[in-house]
Chain A
Amino acid sequence: MKAPFVRLSRFRRGYTLVELSLAMMTGMMIAAMLLAIFNQQVAFLKIFSAQSFLTSEAPIINNYLSKVIGSAEGYQLYPNMTTLQGGGSPVLEDAPVLLLLFKEPDGTSRASILSFENPGTGDGLYFRRVTTNGTISDPEWVLSKEVDAVNFYVQEGVLRVRLTGPNQEQIVYSGAQQL
Chain B
Amino acid sequence: MNRHLEKSSGMETPFHRLCRRTREISLAGRNFYNAKRRLISRERNVNVQGMSGCPGNQFFRSIAPAQAKGWLKDRLTLRGGGSEPKAENRQSKPSDRGEHGRRFRFFRSARKHGRFGRGSVLIEATMAMTMLSVLGLTMLKLSLNITAPRQWTLQQAITDAYLTFEKASAQRQTFENLTGPDSLWPVSPTVATTNVVFGVLPGGRQITGTVTRTRTPDANNANATNNPAGMQVWKLQSVVRYTVGGRTYLKSRTVVRSQ
Contact = CB atoms under 8 A, between A and B. Distances in A.
A2 B8 contact: yes
B203 A167 contact: yes
Interface string B1-29: 00010001000100000000000100110
Given A26-B129, A55-B154, A169-B199, A157 B162 contact: no
Contact of B62 (A16, A23, A26, A55): A16
Interface string A149-175: 000000111101000010111111111
Interface stretch (B87-95, B163-171, B213-221, B227-235): B163-171
Interface in B177-212: 199-204
Contact of B202 (A22, A41, A157, A168): A168
A12 B202 contact: no
Given A26-B129, A55-B154, A16 B168 contact: no
Contacts of A167: 202-203
Residue among A2, A5, A37, A168 with the highest chain B CB neighbour number at 10 A = A5
Interface residues of A, number: 51
A41 B143 contact: yes
Contacts of A13: 27
B121 A19 contact: yes
Contacts of B60: 16-18
A58 B157 contact: yes
9 contacts: A8-B31, A13-B27, A30-B128, A30-B129, A54-B154, A55-B150, A59-B157, A156-B169, A157-B169
Interface of B: 4, 8, 12, 24, 27-28, 30-31, 59-60, 62, 118, 121-122, 125, 128-129, 132-133, 136, 139-140, 143, 146-147, 150, 153-154, 157-158, 161-162, 164-165, 167-169, 171-173, 199-204
Given A2-B12, A172-B199, 16 more contacts: A5-B8, A9-B30, A17-B59, A19-B121, A22-B121, A30-B132, A53-B202, A54-B202, A55-B150, A55-B157, A160-B165, A168-B204, A171-B161, A172-B162, A177-B168, A177-B172
